[in-house]
Amino acid sequence: MPGRVEILYQDDDILLINKPSGLLSLSGKNPLNWDSVHYRLVNGQSATQTKKATPAFAEAKLPHRLDLGTSGIMVVGLNPAASKSLNQQFQARTVKKRYLAMLAGWWIRTAAKSLRP
């Protein structure tokens, strides 16, 4: 089972969360794919021996997704007005995103090709 969704920042309008690798952003149509960031935010996460329970955010909406195998910070709208604003910003591409790849192995310089145009 993937790690917990960690809340990094919270105010009345948004959450910033750390999505663990191996967890869907949104639940899938297949009943076996119910566990997701959105599901855990809407329903809350139970306490463990080392972590306290997280509250349920009934109106939580995700304006963007990260792939199943990707971990990273996500922004979440906590009310309809915030969700609408975030959706508009992502659609207009005014949100700056940064990606950092962490790889295992050795870099072979002679075999490397730039993917930039």
Active site residue 13: no
Report the pLDDT value the prediction gives residue 48, as an integer from 0 to 100.
Answer: 77
101 contacts 115 by C-beta, under 8 angstroms:
no
Q: pLDDT: is 84 or 43 the higher one?
A: 84
Report the pLDDT value the prediction gives residue 32, as an integer from 0 to 100.
Answer: 82
Question: In the sheet where 14-19 sits, what is the strand order?
Answer: 6-10, 14-19, 72-77
63 contacts 87 by C-beta, under 8 angstroms:
yes
Give the fold, CATH level 3, of 6-91. Pseudouridine synthase (3.30.2350)
Report the pLDDT value the prediction gives residue 13, as an integer from 0 to 100.
Answer: 97
Q: Which of 11, 12, 35, 67 is catalytic?
A: 67
pLDDT of residue 116 exceeding 80: no
Q: Who's near 60: CB < 8 A, 6+ residues apart?
A: 15, 38, 41, 42, 76, 77, 78
Where do the domains of the chain lie?
Answer: 6-91
DSSP, collapsed to helix, strand or coil, labels residue 73 as strand
What's the pLDDT tens digit per position in 17-76? Answer: 999 999 999 998 888 888 999 999 999 888 776 777 878 899 999 999 999 999 999 999
Q: pLDDT band at 3, cuts 50/70/90? A: confident
